[in-house]
Structure 1
Amino acid sequence: MQSLTIPEWCARHKLSRASFYNLARVGKAPRIMKVGRSVRISETADAEWLRARELEASLEKEAA
């Protein structure tokens, strides 16, 4: 299984690191894991994050 660092994850999704930490602050960032001193995001956590954001967007669209 491959994992991403926070900067790699941000680059993949074209988000700034500040945006990542803002998402984390409100409980909407992907799950992270610590490997030694490194903080990583698994591909599974990334895929779950993406599905959750898609679901959130579709629910917001239905509510409008």
Structure 2
Amino acid sequence: MARPEITGRKVLADSPAAFSIAEFCRAHRISQSMYFKMRNLGLGPREMAVGSRRLISQEAAAEWRNAREAAA
């Protein structure tokens, strides 16, 4: 793998403890409109309210992936 000092890319020390909805969608390669459709059908991941933001924990994301795989 190319070294970050050569490529100019930043190295992520740790993965985030929680995703914003946009980050979750990017990480799982789904559109935000698909996310909201799934959420409205009760098929989205658990969300937590932090102030006015909605976040999805790593654990909730993993549970959601497992549920989607089981349903497939």
Q: TM-score range by the shorter chain?
A: 0.7 to 0.9
The structure that is helix-richer by fraction is 1
Unaligned runs of at least 5 residues, structure 1: 58-64
Q: Structure 1: which amino acid aligns with 2:68?
A: R
Moved over 4 A (4+): none
Equivalent residues, number: 57
Greater relative contact order structure (CA < 8 Å, 6+ sep): 1
1:3 has 2:53 as partner: no
Percent identical: 37
Between structure 1 and structure 2, the one with the greater Rg is 2
Give the TM-score taking structure 2 as reference length: 0.76
State the Cα RMSD in Å. Answer: 1.0
Structure 2 partner of 1:37:
52
Give the TM-score taking structure 1 as reference length: 0.85
Following TM superposition, by how much is the alpha carbon of 1:42 offset from its aligned partner in structure 2, in angstroms?
Answer: 0.3
